[in-house]
């Protein structure tokens, strides 16, 4: 195969060379156990805490509010299952959540928890009025995704936080920040969140490293009991290489993001998509992340377009990679899209390393395949 054009960075990203180098050092030189009390172990513990400080700076919180996990799925499950303390109360989540939130609360509901789902607006954001109507004096936890992995729509967390806490100051507010981390404002204090989940592999760090920010103002149960790592909250010998690489990748991603390239490339893509007949771009007219461009190409089948493009060396997404394990696209259904739009729902997603040449060539391949498939009158 010729060199691949990769436009599925919301699914995962290539690991930065700098992050790989930092991991190699940990594996071959700094391999000591951070819990060991001799000098070598203490040095590694310090490396973890330096990484913790870097992540804390990115989220504008204190170092002791950062807890490393194995992935955002774990962070979200932890926040929901251990944050929902008052089993007699209720939990409110948006219908726009990633499967690792939605399936987790569905499981809690099956075990008897009062779980309430807030509707979405057609633009992909949560319907704040409906969400508020579900919150009452017994609500103990609210969870709303920051940026949608399906459409890129950004929820106004600070507004939601203010309104729900006005109604019930005791509510714990969690957000899945995976698609938002380093792509929009992640100041957890300004956003008014008590817990916030992030994942390494969306920003040039490896798979297998995540974070849960837990505000020092709230108390939730530990996730895993054992040797007392992560301040007793998440035991298990730390993934030192992943932690160090997450900090290195965070610094590099922030630096690369500071130019306007992703926004410029998005504008190019949106313009070209509008030139194709019967293409609808999702979450275009509401606050959105620049790195995700979700669209529906009528009279096509997304899975066929995806395969045709892949055969031509262009990798694109359709819905989220995780939703491919579940039938249909739950979130797009919640937006009220017709079946003919959902059938042709695709997602392009960028990284700060994506080039204009890749976008130009990729859009050419995509356009040709849409035309080819429509020529065969499928759909
Ligand atoms: N939340 C969102 C919004 C995501 O996009 C993803 C990954 O696709 C996850 C959670 C899960 O992250 P991880 O792969 O680290 O478990």
- CA distances from residue 23 to 15, 47, 125, 248, 249 in whole angstroms, order as listed: 11, 12, 37, 10, 11
Is any atom of ligand 1 closer than 6 Å to the C-beta of 12? no
Q: How far is the CA of 72 from the centre of ligand 1 (A)?
A: 6
Instruction: Give yes or no for residue 110 having a pLDDT over 50.
Output: yes
Note the pLDDT of residue 321.
Answer: 47
3-class SS of residue 94: strand
Tokens representing 23 are 């991991």
User: Any catalytic annotation for residue 322?
Assistant: yes
Q: How far apart are CA 327 and CA 298, in angstroms?
A: 20
- 202, 242, 243, best to mutate for ligand 1 pocket (most atoms within 8 Å of CB): 202
CA proximity to 147, closest of 185, 106, 193, 201:
185
Note the pLDDT of residue 219.
Answer: 93
Note the pLDDT of residue 259.
Answer: 82
- 11, 68, 69, 73, best to mutate for ligand 1 pocket (most atoms within 8 Å of CB): 73
pLDDT tens-digit series, residues 58-105: 999 999 999 999 999 999 999 999 988 766 799 999 999 999 999 999
Tokens representing 274 are 């509008």
Is any atom of ligand 1 closer than 6 Å to the C-beta of 98? yes
Range scoring the smallest mean pLDDT among 223-232, 251-260, 287-296 = 251-260
Note the pLDDT of residue 319.
Answer: 65
Is any atom of ligand 1 closer than 6 Å to the C-beta of 208? no
Note the pLDDT of residue 379.
Answer: 42
Q: Whose CA is nearest to atom 12 of ligand 1?
A: 72
* pLDDT band per the 50, 70, 90 thresholds, residue 328: low
Q: How far apart are CA 158 and CA 372, in angstroms?
A: 45
* Atom of ligand 1 lying closest to residue 71 CA: 15
Instruction: Give yes or no for residue 322 having a pLDDT over 60.
Output: no
Summary mean pLDDT of the chain: 95
CA 114 to chain centre: 25
Q: Whose CA is nearest to atom 5 of ligand 1?
A: 149
Strand partners of residue 118: 94
Mean pLDDT of 291-315: 97
* Atom of ligand 1 lying closest to residue 100 CA: 10
CA proximity to 93, closest of 158, 174, 159:
174
pLDDT tens-digit series, residues 26-65: 999 999 999 999 999 999 999 999 999 999 999 999 999 9
* pLDDT band per the 50, 70, 90 thresholds, residue 1: very low
CA 261 to chain centre: 20
Q: How far is the CA of 323 from the centre of ligand 1 (A)?
A: 11
Tokens representing 222 are 């530990």
Note the pLDDT of residue 159.
Answer: 98
Note the pLDDT of residue 200.
Answer: 98
pLDDT tens-digit series, residues 196-242: 999 999 999 999 999 999 999 999 999 999 999 999 999 999 999 99
Is any atom of ligand 1 closer than 6 Å to the C-beta of 144? no
């Amino acid at each position: 195969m010729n060199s691949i054009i990769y436009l599925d960075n919301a699914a995962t990203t290539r690991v930065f060379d700098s992050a790989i180098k930092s991991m190699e050092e940990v594996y071959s030189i700094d391999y000591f156990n951070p819990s060991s009390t001799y000098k070598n172990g203490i040095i590694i513990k310090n490396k973890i805490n330096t990484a913790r400080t870097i992540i804390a700076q990115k989220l504008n919180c204190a170092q002791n509010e950062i807890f490393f996990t194995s992935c955002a799925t774990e962070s979200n499950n932890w926040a929901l299952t251990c944050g929902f303390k008052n089993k007699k109360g209720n939990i409110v989540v948006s219908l726009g959540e990633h499967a690792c939130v939605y399936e987790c609360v569905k499981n809690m509901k099956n075990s008897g928890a009062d779980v309430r789902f807030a509707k979405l607006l057609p633009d992909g954001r949560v319907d704040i009025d409906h969400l508020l109507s579900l919150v009452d004096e017994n609500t103990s936890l609210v969870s709303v995704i920051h940026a949608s992995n399906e459409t890129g729509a950004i929820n106004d967390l600070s507004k939601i936080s203010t309104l729900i806490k006005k109604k019930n100051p005791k509510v714990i507010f969690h957000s899945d920040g995976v698609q938002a981390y380093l792509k929009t404002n992640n100041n957890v204090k300004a956003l008014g969140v008590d817990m916030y989940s992030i994942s390494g592999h969306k920003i040039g760090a490896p798979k297998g490293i995540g974070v849960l920010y837990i505000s020092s103002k709230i108390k939730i149960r530990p996730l895993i009991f054992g040797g007392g790592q992560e301040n007793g909250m998440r035991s298990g010998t730390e993934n030192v290489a992943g932690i160090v690489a997450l900090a290195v990748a965070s610094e590099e991603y922030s630096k690369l993001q500071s130019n306007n390239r992703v926004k410029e490339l998005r504008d190019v893509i949106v313009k070209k998509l509008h030139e194709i007949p019967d293409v609808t771009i999702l979450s275009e007219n509401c606050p959105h992340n620049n790195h995700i461009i979700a669209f529906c190409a009528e009279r096509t089948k997304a899975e066929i377009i995806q395969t045709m493009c892949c055969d031509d060396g262009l990798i694109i997404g359709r819905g989220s990679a995780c939703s491919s394990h579940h039938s249909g696209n739950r979130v797009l259904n919640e937006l009220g899209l017709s079946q003919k739009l959902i059938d042709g729902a695709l997602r392009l997603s960028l990284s700060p390393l994506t080039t204009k040449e890749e976008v130009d060539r990729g859009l050419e391949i995509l356009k040709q395949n849409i035309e080819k498939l429509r020529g065969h009158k499928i759909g």
